[in-house]
């Protein structure tokens, strides 16, 4: 019996059609795992090897591993979804987790079973290769690309070409640190180019003959983490045929000049901090100039784009175009409407010239169960629609007709994914936190659940135009810096004891080719963080003007300096004897301990 014989019927690729490089990767992983088990391969060497193959150690230690599956620009097929269901049930906890980079993660996979999981992925055209480690990570792209009424170009096949060019590319195997690339089809920047090492935004310019030319604006050296940096524009306009050489030139400069002695200062943002932006820009443009001499010059329009095109979806004549992007949902609340109308109002995107519509399926905490994976695969097949994972840990169903929306709603409702969630207060994003991560000091998923429950109790879960993001430590895996309301975990001391706590930030924003990182408001006990979020959202909902964004309201209300004092009473710990719950984190039963392990570069 082969490893493929014990699973339910899935439309897999014949083994002869598997990616040959991926087959070699799997064989090498089996070999190196055997060497590690026998003591022939040192722990630190094997650690780097498995990270490059997308296998990440968990805080539970032992043989428990996280498998991160690369999903370029979030696009998935029915067979891939069914395989995710099988992997979740057979090897993990019965569910997978969508990350903020459109990956899928499966936890508690046993080390000896990793090669089998890698074979299952190969059989449906997926890989974990370079999903972790000091490599070029998953290529992220706007989940509405090709369906967005505001896009300048459909970046889908540009992202695909970039993924194919860099995966297993020798240039990207042992970088100073991880390198992240994002694509957005317009300045709204749903792909979040403004805080990545190389961020690509489709733009236009007027040529010398007066005609409009479509191309890109490439940003570099953005990043979040403990010290966030906004991305900086390399040049005003990069022609389409120069895009891949530009990205490769940025990567080459990073590879050559990045800090290899101090991992804490090794990202692209620190290279700009050390050399200065003008010098980094000079080196990138010089590297691009001479790239035609390289053995694998990536210039010209990629074959994927030539074959499949990049024309924008366009805007249907007379159609009402859905507002997209952070803060662009105008209704304050959807209360009083029927469940279907509420879902339709919050989750459906329309206005594309091709006449199709898209709709979000809400995944609570970014989790998808095996049953939900299979149901999504079935509706994708039977409705003949596309499907992509989003960077807010949801799923978007694309290429729909208006007539299909009622059926889609019913099918999503049957699997618990029809809540109005896209861009509403309910749609809380959280990293895995101390549930599995070595670096996290708090249970960020527990706080996300608590916030959601409090918002439901207060009737505030469907307040529009507000983003809440949570990280279990300062590293911003949950992207707390870019949210309207952000939290990151921190150990607190009270009455001689350790306790779980959070730093609250307000006013983060990414869009319109700019980014504003959230301002620190105040520190809070973990138990009071949900109440703090409720108070801020209640005030925002009551005071905002028509169409006013959270950031605009915050500025009008006097900024963080005026909001934080109204929450000051929440920054208080009762004595342990009076309320022990303040000294126990969400989902835990024993006293809180800030147990931080060795970093394995989780995001």
Please write down the HEC assignment for all residues of 177-199: CCECEEEECCCCCCCCHHHCCEE
Which whole number is the average pLDDT over 85-109?
98
Predicted confidence at residue 329, as pLDDT, reads 55
Kindly report the average pLDDT of the chain as a whole number.
94
Which whole number is the average pLDDT over 343-360?
91
- Min mean pLDDT across 319-328, 441-450, 521-530 is at 319-328
Is pLDDT at 29 greater than 90 in this prediction?
yes
Which whole number is the average pLDDT over 49-59?
95
Is pLDDT at 251 greater than 50 in this prediction?
yes
Give 595 or 256, the one with higher predicted confidence.
Answer: 256
Which whole number is the average pLDDT over 30-51?
97
Within 10 angstroms of residue 407's Cβ, the number of other Cβ atoms is: 13
Beta bridge partners of 254: none
pTM (2 d.p.): 0.95
> How far apart, in Å, are the Cα atoms of 49 and each of 45, 198, 436?
6, 25, 20
Helix axes 268-275, 243-257, angle to 10 degrees: 70
Residue 177 backbone zone (phi > 0: left; psi -120 to 50: alpha; other: beta):
beta
Is pLDDT at 3 greater than 90 in this prediction?
no
Within 10 angstroms of residue 295's Cβ, the number of other Cβ atoms is: 4
Give the residue carrying structure tokens 């959070």: 502
DSSP 223-280: B-SSS-B--EES-S-B-GGGHHHHHHHHHHHHHHHS-SS-GGG-SHHHHHHHH-HHHH
Q: Strand runs (DSSP E) across 495-601, as ranges?
A: 497-506, 509-511, 514-516, 519-525
DSSP 8-class letter at 389:
E
CATH architecture classification, 3-122: Alpha-Beta Complex (3.90)
Given a contact cutoff of 8 angstroms between Cβ atoms, the answer to whether 221 and 197 are in contact is: yes
Q: How far apart are CA 539 and CA 122, in angstroms?
A: 50
**Three-state SS at 556:** helix
Task: Name the nearest CA neighbour of 458 among 566, 527, 567, 534.
Answer: 534
Element (H, E) at 360: strand 357-361
| Structure-token pair, residue 404 | 């299909």
CATH architecture classification, 429-583: 2-Layer Sandwich (3.30)
Task: Name the nearest CA neighbour of 391 among 169, 128, 239, 189.
Answer: 189
**Three-state SS at 103:** coil
Task: Name the nearest CA neighbour of 472 among 492, 493, 501.
Answer: 501
Given a contact cutoff of 8 angstroms between Cβ atoms, the answer to whether 491 and 503 are in contact is: no
Which whole number is the average pLDDT over 173-202?
96
Model confidence pLDDT, tens digit, residues 353-391: 888 899 999 999 999 999 999 999 999 999 999 999 999
Is pLDDT at 5 greater than 80 in this prediction?
no
Q: How far apart are CA 138 and CA 153, in angstroms?
A: 21
Model confidence pLDDT, tens digit, residues 506-544: 999 999 999 999 999 999 999 999 999 999 999 999 999
Q: How far apart are CA 445 and CA 430, in angstroms?
A: 6
Within 10 angstroms of residue 208's Cβ, the number of other Cβ atoms is: 6
Predicted confidence at residue 6, as pLDDT, reads 62
DSSP 8-class letter at 238:
B
Given a contact cutoff of 8 angstroms between Cβ atoms, the answer to whether 330 and 545 are in contact is: no
334 band by pLDDT with thresholds 50, 70 and 90: low
Within 10 angstroms of residue 442's Cβ, the number of other Cβ atoms is: 28
Is pLDDT at 332 greater than 50 in this prediction?
no
Predicted confidence at residue 127, as pLDDT, reads 98
Model confidence pLDDT, tens digit, residues 198-222: 999 999 999 888 899 999 999 999 9
Q: How far apart are CA 487 and CA 203, in angstroms?
A: 33
Give 335 or 492, the one with higher predicted confidence.
Answer: 492
333 band by pLDDT with thresholds 50, 70 and 90: low
Q: How far apart are CA 482 and CA 228, in angstroms?
A: 10
Predicted confidence at residue 603, as pLDDT, reads 43
Given a contact cutoff of 8 angstroms between Cβ atoms, the answer to whether 186 and 148 are in contact is: yes
DSSP 8-class letter at 544:
P
Is pLDDT at 311 greater than 70 in this prediction?
yes
Radius of gyration for the chain, computed over Cα atoms and rounded to the nearest angstrom: 23
Residues, the chain, total?
603
Give the residue carrying structure tokens 């505001």: 150
Q: How far apart are CA 155 and CA 376, in angstroms?
A: 24
Is pLDDT at 330 greater than 90 in this prediction?
no
Q: Strand runs (DSSP E) across 185-284, as ranges?
A: 198-206, 212-220, 232-233
CATH class of 150-308: alpha beta
Q: Count Cα neighbours of 145 within 13 Å in the Cβ-side half-sphere.
A: 33
């Amino acid at each position: 019996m082969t490893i493929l014989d014990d699973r339910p019927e899935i439309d897999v690729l014949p083994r002869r059609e598997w990616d040959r490089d991926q087959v070699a990767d799997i064989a090498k992983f089996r070999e190196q795992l055997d060497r590690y088990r026998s003591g022939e391969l040192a722990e630190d060497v094997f650690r780097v090897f498995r990270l490059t193959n997308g296998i990440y150690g968990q805080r539970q230690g032992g043989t428990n591993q996280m498998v991160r599956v690369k999903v370029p620009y979030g696009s998935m097929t029915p067979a891939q979804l069914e395989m995710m269901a099988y992997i979740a049930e057979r090897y993990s906890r019965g569910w997978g987790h969508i990350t903020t980079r459109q990956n899928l993660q499966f936890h508690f996979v046993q080390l000896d079973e990793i090669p089998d999981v890698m074979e299952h992925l190969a059989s449906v055209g997926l890989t974990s290769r370079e999903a972790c480690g000091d490599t070029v990570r998953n290529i992220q792209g706007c989940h509405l690309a090709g369906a967005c009424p505001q896009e300048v170009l459909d970046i889908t096949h540009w992202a695909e070409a970039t993924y194919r060019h860099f995966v297993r590319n020798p240039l990207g195997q042992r970088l100073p640190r991880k390198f992240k690339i994002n694509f957005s089809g317009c300045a709204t920047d749903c792909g979040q180019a403004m805080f990545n090492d190389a961020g690509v935004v489709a733009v236009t310019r007027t040529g010398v003959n007066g005609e409009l030319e479509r191309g890109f604006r490439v940003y570099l050296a953005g990043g979040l983490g403990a010290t966030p940096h906004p991305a900086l524009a390399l040049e005003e306009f990069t022609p389409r045929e120069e895009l891949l050489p530009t990205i490769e030139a940025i990567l080459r400069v990073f590879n050559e000049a990045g800090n290899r002695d101090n991992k804490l200062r090794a990202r692209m943002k620190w290279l700009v901090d050390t050399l200065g932006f003008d010098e980094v820009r000079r080196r990138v443009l010089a590297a691009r100039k001479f790239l035609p001499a390289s053995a694998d010059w990536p210039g010209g329009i990629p074959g994927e784009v030539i074959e499949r095109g990049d024309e924008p979806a366009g805007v249907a004549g007379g159609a009402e175009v859905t507002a997209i992007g952070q803060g662009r949902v105008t209704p304050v609340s959807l209360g009083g409407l029927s469940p279907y109308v509420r879902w339709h109002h919050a989750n459906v995107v329309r206005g594309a010239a091709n006449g199709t519509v898209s709709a979000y399926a809400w995944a609570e905490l970014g989790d998808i169960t095996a049953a939900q994976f299979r149901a999504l695969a079935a509706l994708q097949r039977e409705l003949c629609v596309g499907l992509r994972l989003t960077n807010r840990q949801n799923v978007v169903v694309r290429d729909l007709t208006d007539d299909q929306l009622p059926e889609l709603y019913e099918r999503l409702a049957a699997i618990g994914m029809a809540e109005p969630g896209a861009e509403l207060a309910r749609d809380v994003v959280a990293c895995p936190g101390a549930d599995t991560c070595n670096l996290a000091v708090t249970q960020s998923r527990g706080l996300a659940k608590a916030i959601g429950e409090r918002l439901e109790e207060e009737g505030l879960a469907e307040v529009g135009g507000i983003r809440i993001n949570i990280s279990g430590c300062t590293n911003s895996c949950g992207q707390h810096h870019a949210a309207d309301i952000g939290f990151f975990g921190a150990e607190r001391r009270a009455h001689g004891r350790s306790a779980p706590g959070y730093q609250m930030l307000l006013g983060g924003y990414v869009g319109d080719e700019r980014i504003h990182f959230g301002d620190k408001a105040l520190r809070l006990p973990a138990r009071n963080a949900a109440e703090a979020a409720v108070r801020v959202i209640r005030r925002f909902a009551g005071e905002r003007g028509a169409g006013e964004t959270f950031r605009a309201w915050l500025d009008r209300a006097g900024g963080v300096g005026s909001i934080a004092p109204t929450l000051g009473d929440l920054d208080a710990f009762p004595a342990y004897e009076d309320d022990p719950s303040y000294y126990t984190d969400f989902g835990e039963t024993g006293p809180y301990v800030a147990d931080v392990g060795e970093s394995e570069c989780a995001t």
